[in-house]
Amino acid sequence: MTDNDIQSVIDSIKQNHFSEPELINLLKDDRALVRANVLMALPRRSMTNPQRIVDAIAAASEAANSQVKLMGTTTQRKLAIATLAWLGVDAARETFDRVIDTLSAGEREEIAELVRRGPITSAN
């Protein structure tokens, strides 16, 4: 796949051209940039099935490729966990609280900073 193809997918994510099930499938994409853009887009979308979204984000935080660095020291795992906090639904908050307790103090601190800054957009 070319850079133009990847950019086309990312643009479609940002323009809400994908359905909720398609976004969930994109969380399993081989390309870290695609997965990261899905995580950044989800807090800005309305959800028809919040529990399914929460489950998919939790799975993305535990995936074998979740330690890939996306921005500085921020990994897919950390971004996924922060995304849970940004969703604003009870199921996401419960999952966030459960997962955050399993992390090291350093990871908790970095995720807390991500959460404080708010959802990442192309304008951030």
Q: What is residue 75's three-state secondary structure?
A: strand
Q: What is the pTM of this model?
A: 0.90
Which pLDDT belongs to residue 73? 87
Where do the domains of the chain lie? 3-117
**Closest CA relative to residue 49, chosen from 98, 97, 91:** 91
- 3 pLDDT above the threshold of 80: no
pLDDT tens, 89-121? 999 999 999 999 999 999 999 999 999 999 877
Instruction: Label residues 4-24 b or e (16+ Cβ within 10 Å = b).
Output: eeeeebbeebeeeebebeebb
Structure tokens at 67: 């330690």
Q: What is the pLDDT of residues 38-55, one digit of tens each?
A: 999 999 998 999 999 999
